[in-house]
Amino acid sequence: MAALIDAIDVKRKTFFEFEKIPYLCLEAIVNTPTARGGQTLVRLKMRNLLTNAVFEKSFKANDKFKEPDLQLVPASYLYSDGDGSHFLDQESFETLTLSEQMIGDALDFLVEGAIIELRKY
């Protein structure tokens, strides 16, 4: 069974599952109440790893999230074209194509043959 993460423990670059969808935390802000009896809220800016959509949502500090079932897979960078960037999975030897939006600025640092680790859900 996957471990549970409290919302208060979610920090930048933490992966978590919310409503059975994997997310990456881009920013976490903790708002503590000034009045007695108020609840501590955690405002998360998060990226949906399936659609790449970014949004903000507030959670109670004691809300819990599952850790997503992510696998680190070694892959080598092959090339980029109009379809996206192509990688060779070093374990299964299948070709993986990722969009430029998924890779972002990291594309500027990739050279042909570079071995990287991809996260698969």
**pLDDT tens sequence for the chain (121 residues):** 568 999 999 999 999 999 999 999 999 999 988 777 788 999 999 999 888 899 999 999 999 999 999 899 999 999 999 889 999 999 999 999 998 888 878 888 989 999 999 988 8
The DSSP element (H or E) to which 100 belongs, if any, is helix 100-103
Contact call for residues 107 and 80 (beta carbons, < 8 A) = yes
On whether the 71-120 domain is CATH 3.40.50.720, my answer is: no
Residue entry with tokens 């969808």: 21
* Architecture of the 4-66 domain: Roll (2.30)
Contact call for residues 18 and 64 (beta carbons, < 8 A) = no
- Residue 34 CB partners (closer than 8 Å, separation 6+): none
Domain locations in the chain as residue ranges: 4-66, 71-120
pTM of structure: 0.77
